Amino acid sequence: MFISEVNFFLNRICAISFTDSDKLLSLSGKYGFSGIAKFRMNGKSGFSITNIPKSQPIPAEALKGFAELGLVESDTAFKGRWDVADEATLSMFRNLLSVPSVVIDSVLLTKGRRTIIFRFHDTDLQNISALLSLPNKLRNFSINFLIENKDKKYFINHIPSSTVLKYYELVTSVPPSSMNLVGDYVIATFGNNWYREVKYLLEDEIHAVYYEKSSLIARSGQLKDISTSEKIYEMSFQNPMITHVFSETTKKMVSILGMQQRMVGKNFLMGMIIPEAVESEFQEILGDLAVKFKDWKPIVSSVSRLEEAISG
């Protein structure tokens, strides 16, 4: 599975934690449960999709708080979506995502603290160091670690044991209408041999980090160099199938934690990381994808726990 190849292109990993005014975070501190979330951009603001696995002790008092916050209960999880109202938290997310090589792997809610785990390339180390050293209004802010990314376990060691992560890999065939050297600036820039990791979606533009496997065909005006020697870049793109996945995971409140992609010829591979607690909702999305994007011929080629996927 190609996720084991993608992980190490970004050679630094960092985790920061803090507290803020979020009511669910306060409940987590009071009752000791944990959850995992995905932050999404929405214009100048942002929102969070949070999944709380039911495979952990959750007191009745916490359940009452969930109901007051409007969390949706399924057989395996509590799910919620709400705007990030805390300005300091929103500012930190914005600042991190503005760094070209940063990919946020997960956002954790654990015992009253919010933890952001992200990877980046060491060409951005000075930017990250400056960002984390700036005075900020985040309460109880700490840098848990900032180390070389050389652990084959990815970020799994830092996820609560109650949260099991699954990795899905899809194989698709790019339809001829999308293999347009003139109309598609990704193909025009990188050709058809590259990896990428999605950073975030903003309106209809998806921002990503690219790992070029051959040589640039041309330089797009949107292209940002991260490491020319290692052929790593940042650029935005448009893809209706991926935008659809973003839209449906938002509607169904699925925290899709990572999206890795690989282009080889006309074959397009998609890797996606999700919490097992919302796997049934995610499978519904994949079923819908096969119907709405028949011309891409999406096939689920591999499913496993994340730790098994990255060890292969």
Question: Could you give the CA distance from residue 300 to residue 286 in angstroms, rounded to a whole number?
Answer: 8
- Read off the tokens for 99: 């760094």
How many whole angstroms separate alpha carbon 24 and alpha carbon 49? 12
**Amino acid identity, residue 268?**
F
pLDDT for residue 213 = 86
The dihedral region occupied by 166, where left means phi > 0, alpha psi between -120 and 50, and beta the remainder, is beta
Paired tokens of 269: 């591979």
- Tokens read off for 25: 């975070």
What is the arrangement of strands in the sheet containing 258-264, beginning at the earlier edge strand? Answer: 224-227, 232-237, 205-212, 193-202, 258-264, 267-275, 165-173, 299-305
Task: Quote the CA–CA distance of 4 and 2 in Å, as a whole number.
Answer: 5
Is there a contact between 149 and 4 (Cβ–Cβ < 8 Å)? no
Burial class (CB in 10 A: 0-12, 13-18, 19+), 229: exposed
**What is the Cα–Cα distance from 158 to 175, expressed in whole angstroms?**
39
Q: What is the mean pLDDT of each run of 10 residues along the chain (312 residues)?
A: 86 95 95 95 87 97 97 97 91 94 95 95 97 88 93 77 94 78 74 93 87 85 92 93 94 96 93 97 96 94 92 70
Amino acid at 218: A
Q: Name the 3-class secondary structure at 249.
A: helix
Q: What is the pLDDT of residue 152?
A: 67
pLDDT at 179: 64
Confidence at residue 312, expressed as pLDDT on a 0 to 100 scale = 63
Q: Of 156, 177, 196, 197, give the one whose Cα is nearest residue 304.
A: 156
